[in-house]
Amino acid sequence: MAQENTEAATSAAKSAESSNEGLMAFFTEERVNSIVEWAAANGLKILAAILIFVIGKWVVGKIRNGVKKTMEKKQVDPALVSFGTSILYYMLMIAVILAAIQQVGFQTTSLVAILGAAGLAVGLALQGSLSNFASGVLIIMFRPFRIGDVIDAGGHIGKVVEIGVLVTIMHSPDNKKIIVPNSSIMSGSITNITANDTRRVDMSVGVSYSDDLDKVTNIINDVLNADERVLKDPAPQVVVSALADSSVNFHVRPWTKKEDYWNVFFDFQKTIKQRLDSEGVSIPFPQRDVWMRKAD
């Protein structure tokens, strides 16, 4: 047992001695002198580079925090705040690191070229995603619509439930979930249906040519005036819009609050039909006469 311990100690001593010899072989007098000369010649540059990095990192952190607070005060989407401030931080830190490296004496031209080429390659690979991201930033900044608005955009109509960095999520009138890329929304026109507090309800009523048009106008106005949801200002508009093939058509255009739009639209159809029937006013419909000829 004692012999084994002695052999292990001897082996460890030889290993340590071998390591020391390796270090001595690497740190030759000539090499040490070269390192000392380089440090003496570039000591101030190294110190300046360290100061640039430390101070630059501190300044970049302050800038990131300031931008973050500003975006949060403007109620920017949290996902955009996190992503945007992170991108800003890393871009500024790259600039700080390049400045520190250049201070030591290294040429950064080739490094910048490599980073630029890499950035271009990544940009081409993520072209669609970057387009969606840029569109998401524009939506959040300029706010053509907000969560809860009903919009017609990107070929879809629905209520906005989420505005993300890459996509906007809507619910259709029949409660389907619609995920629309932000670039599709910003590349076309956007109709914000519920942006204003009031909306005009456009409806049409057709009556027979034999009916009294003034009487029909009064009946329609009575129905509108009896509905408390119809606004007095602007006043409803009831006009003859067309002399069609089998009917005289009226355009009926009352104004209402946006939340009452569909209720007013549907209720009017039923109420005006019942009222016209009770007043003896006919609502024409297409008819066809069929003549039967008996063969001889």
Domains of the chain, start order: 26-125 (1.10.287.1260), 145-192 (2.30.30.60), 198-278 (3.30.70.100)
Residue with tokens 């932000």: 182
Strand segments (E) across the chain: 150-153, 156-163, 167-171, 177-181, 191-192, 198-200, 203-207, 237-243, 248-253, 255-257
Helix (H, G, I), strand (E, B) or coil at 148: coil
CA angle 190, 194, 196 (to 5 degrees): 105
Residue 9 confidence (pLDDT): 52
Report mean pLDDT in 10-residue bins for the chain, 296 residues: 53 52 58 67 76 89 89 73 77 85 71 65 60 81 87 92 86 94 90 93 93 94 94 94 91 95 94 93 78 73
Length of the chain: 296
3-state helix, strand, coil in the chain (%, to 5): 55, 15, 25
Residue 1 confidence (pLDDT): 52
Residue 90 confidence (pLDDT): 82
As a whole number of angstroms, the distance between CA 49 and CA 143 comes to 44
For residue 264, give the amino acid letter.
V
From residue 286, alpha-carbon distances to 103, 204, 213 in Å are 89, 16, 20
pTM (2 decimals)? 0.59
Residue 235 confidence (pLDDT): 93
What the block records as the tokens of 265 is: 């639209």
Residue 39 confidence (pLDDT): 67
Residue 85 confidence (pLDDT): 81
